[in-house]
Structure 1
Amino acid sequence: MKSFGFLPDGKEVLCYTLTNRNGVEFSVMNYGATITSVRIPVENDSKIDVVLGFDSLEDYIKSYYLPSPPYFGTTVGRFAGRINKAKFILNGKSIHLNKNHGEHSLHGGILGFSRKLWKAMAINLEDNPSISLEYISKENEENFPGELSVRVTYTLTESNELKVCYSAKSSEDTIINLTQHSYFNLDGHQNDVASQKLIVNSDKIVQTNKQLIPTGKLTPLQNHAFDFSSAKNCPLSIDNTFVLNGSEAASLISEKNKLKMSVTTNQPAVHVYVGGNCFGQLRGKENTNYHSTSGICFETQNFPDAPNHSNFPTCILKEGEEYIHSTLFKFENL
């Protein structure tokens, strides 16, 4: 554990590092329950950092004022993705959320979970090291109903898996859609993802309009540019939600570092996004100039705008029930 800086209100942000027996290192800070680095051993006894991020807390804070905030490594909530017109109906009542993306709500609103100070609760440094962080979202925060108690547990297994498990309970019926927003680059965070191979276990994507708002329909991927049922190079531009065929979500392969990452989840979709652009305004870790193809996100989640489409999987969390979201990122040397 080390200090990662101080928020404008004077509260200290701490960064925690877990290491398994194979030398894989994982770091997370309690600002946004944000993954700041994942270092994987590769050939020649070297390690590469495979996620994008910043060297200072100040730059993480500043990044939310970029033309398109990247949300590097954060926990996104209460609702990942877009909600059309920032409104929905729950139990017959019209709910109007804060608008932070034109006329819409994106990634939880103006000050979502990504910009909150979480509390580290349980830390295990033995085999399969883990850390749990908690955040209590007050009733009507960003105008979401109910007080929501959220916990995320990150576990680094001895099989080189990073497990992410979210759980949540609400004081009244609400909506929820959490996700982990790390940008991966198996060639190393300073590089470009374009030459890495992508596989996605899906034959449909969520159809969207020009503002990336779901229409309610699904688009088949047969003969589509985004058919990644077999390995293809990462696209240079993608911001789409894939409907999953089972728990195996996606794989990313670096031929350069002979490294593979597999993503499995209990969620119905994975939103795939290539980006990381800091527009020359901020420098990434190790003074890196992040650009539009610096990393790729695998945002395991429910469908965007789910509360406004009855044919989408429900995103309603009933009072007293528990939300459980698990995702596993497994790293293998090829």
Structure 2
Amino acid sequence: MNKNHFSQIYSTKNTKLFGELTTNQVVFRHTLSNKNGCEFSVINYGATITSLKIPNSTGEKVDVVLGFETLEDYINSFDLPSAPYLGAIVGRYAGRINNGSFSLNGKTIDLSKNWNSHQIHGGSIGFSRKFWNVKSISDEENPSITLEYTSKNNEENFPGELYVEVTYMLTEDNELKITFIAKSSEDTIINLTQHSYFNLDGHSDDITNQTLLVNSDKILETTDELIPTGNFISLENHPFDFAVAKNCPTSIDNTFVLTGKKAAVLYSKKNKLKMTVLTNQPAVHIYVGGNCFGQIKGKEKANYHPKSGICFEAQNFPDAPNHSHFPSALLKKEEEYLHQTTFKFENL
């Protein structure tokens, strides 16, 4: 079926043609909105959120996530000096795995390596660069979209065929609820996350005037290459102690061990907009960035730089398969992986 035929079928108000991959797979942008005027768009390349617009207290819609205008820009962003993974799903394993290696059922598994001698974010061509099939869309109350991807056995050398679903739901309470479900044909490891960069002042601004609160009393200690050592660092009297809200850091790339379901709160005084992050995961990796090195323009010709946005990567601990005292990342054959993270927006 050619692109024009696809375009005739799917180019409606809520679904627009977004581009075509070299594999001849056609990518669409699907937009869903709730009764309050909140709306988000997602493409089936990387199951990527391209925009998330929230009305502020004056009724102006603020696009609170970084993104690109074209499919080509998303594809080319993975060739930047440091790929930003703007808005994408990250898997099969988010974060770093030391030496790209771990032991499973007494066998050493050597993964693909794409970060020096290590693996990061699922390898050379992880879930962020895959074509996801749209399984279902609902534009009723609490509109949602479910996308699915099947990762073949030994993709990036991970064992087992892994079936993954991600559902994005926009509730009438202005929550973006993200639910991951996965099953594997063999014992494997898994750690999925959503990699949107948030900026409550608007995607073309910077995050330095927003405040951050994190419900954590320790972070993972890491090496110079950001590989967990297995030790923890207390946040008492630490610059990254955000138990009381204070200005966002200008540079951070750390995993916070969570003390409850409520992970973090981001607040914009400019737009009087508050975002609360809730998750069933044991950690949130917080990263400030978005830099596109002047090589690719963001939406509306924005110049994304190292302080453009802040990521809340709700997830298991990086390198958990190599640390027996970390929460287990093992997904046993035919068991179900369930990850739920919510971004709740409020006008104050």
TM-score normalised per structure 1? 0.99
Counterpart selection for 1:85 from 99, 114, 131: 99
Unaligned ranges ≥5, structure 2: 1-14
Counterpart CA distance in 2 for 1:278 and 1:268 is: 30
Letter in 1 for 2:122: G
- Aligned residue number for residue 198 of structure 1: 212
User: Residue deviations 1:199-233, cap 9 Å, x none?
Assistant: 00000000001000000001000000000001010
Residue 185 (structure 1) aligned with residue 196 (structure 2): no
User: Residue deviations 1:17-68, cap 9 Å, x none?
Assistant: 0000000011101000000000011244321100001000000000000000
Letter in 1 for 2:217: D
Counterpart selection for 1:148 from 162, 168, 177: 162
Counterpart selection for 1:99 from 76, 89, 113: 113
Counterpart CA distance in 1 for 2:237 and 2:168 is: 38
Counterpart selection for 1:208 from 208, 222, 243: 222
Residue 262 (structure 1) aligned with residue 276 (structure 2): yes
Unaligned ranges ≥5, structure 1: none
Task: List 4+ stretches of structure 1 deviating above 2 A.
Answer: none
- Aligned residue number for residue 20 of structure 1: 34
Counterpart CA distance in 2 for 1:46 and 1:221 is: 37
Counterpart CA distance in 2 for 1:45 and 1:257 is: 10
Counterpart CA distance in 1 for 2:56 and 2:337 is: 36
Counterpart selection for 1:231 from 198, 223, 245: 245
Counterpart CA distance in 2 for 1:5 and 1:123 is: 20
Q: Which secondary structure state, in structure 2, belongs to the residue aligned with residue 132 of structure 1?
A: strand
Structure 1 residue 10: Cα displacement:
2.0
Counterpart CA distance in 1 for 2:238 and 2:73 is: 38
- Aligned residue number for residue 323 of structure 1: 337
Q: Which secondary structure state, in structure 2, belongs to the residue aligned with residue 63 of structure 1?
A: helix
Letter in 2 for 1:127: E
Counterpart selection for 1:240 from 254, 263, 287: 254
Letter in 1 for 2:316: N
Aligned length: 334
**How many percent of aligned residue pairs carry the same amino acid?**
66
Counterpart selection for 1:8 from 22, 47, 70: 22
TM-score normalised per structure 2? 0.95
Counterpart CA distance in 1 for 2:174 and 2:166 is: 19
- Aligned residue number for residue 112 of structure 1: 126
User: Residue deviations 1:268-319, cap 9 Å, x none?
Assistant: 0000000000000110000000000000000000000000000100000000
Do the aligned residues in 1 keep the contact of 2:276 with 2:343 (CA within 8 Å)? yes
Q: Which secondary structure state, in structure 1, belongs to the residue aligned with residue 203 of structure 2?
A: coil
